[in-house]
Amino acid sequence: MTTIKEAVKGMVKEPGYSADLDRGTVLSVNKTDCTCVVQLVSNDAELPDVKLKTIINDGDISQLGFVLYPAVGSFVTVGRIDDDNTDLILVDITIIESIGLDTSTALKLLIDASGNFNLNANLMTFNNGKNGGIPLLNPLTAILLKQQQTINNLITAFQSHTHPVAGASTGPTITPAPATITPLVKTSDIENKSIVQ
């Protein structure tokens, strides 16, 4: 098996030969460090710490911006930055496992291969915010449940109460028309599981 040093040396420009790029297969991905391990197709060498993004802010991986995370097993193209044989990067990816948007504080956006959308932000505005904020499910459910219980208690009291007919001491009584008890609300009744906050 070819060593890393030999594999990288094979990518160095030599007279009459240029090998700045090579193809490989992704063996693993480290989203925290924004790197991956690639096994080259040409000689089976394993290259660790291959960067997922070509532009690095003085080594600060927390400010990487837009990142494509390759799927394990996908074919990729590996290249070098500034003729540095130890600074390897992904140039292209055949299968994207997920897409991320990193900022200086945290991963703000992640879209995976299934189309799941995860947005981590202090403020999200849709349609210029003209419809106000989206209600929080649990507090809204608690408010509705309390109101329903109050209404149901009034209905129960109303149904059990009778009125004697005026002027008759032992005559017939009037029973109120039946009212329907409202089923208590559950979070599943009002939850939109496609948007989770």
Query: Above 80 in pLDDT, residue 80?
Result: no
Residue 38 confidence (pLDDT) above 90: yes
Per the listing, tokens 């925290």 go with: 32
Percent of the residues in the chain that have a pLDDT greater than 70, as a whole number? 66
Query: How do residues 103-162 score in pLDDT, each as one tens digit?
Result: 655 567 778 878 788 777 777 777 777 777 777 778 888 888 888 888 888 888 877 777
Mean pLDDT across the chain, nearest whole number?
Answer: 76
What's the confidence (pLDDT) of residue 65?
73
**3-state SS, residue 153:** helix
Q: How far from 81 is each of 99, 150, 162, 180, CA to CA, in Å? A: 22, 69, 88, 73
- Residue 19: what pLDDT? 46
Please state the domain extents for the chain: 4-120, 132-161+173-190
Q: What is the pLDDT of residue 196?
A: 66
- Residue 64 confidence class, pLDDT cut points 50, 70, 90: low
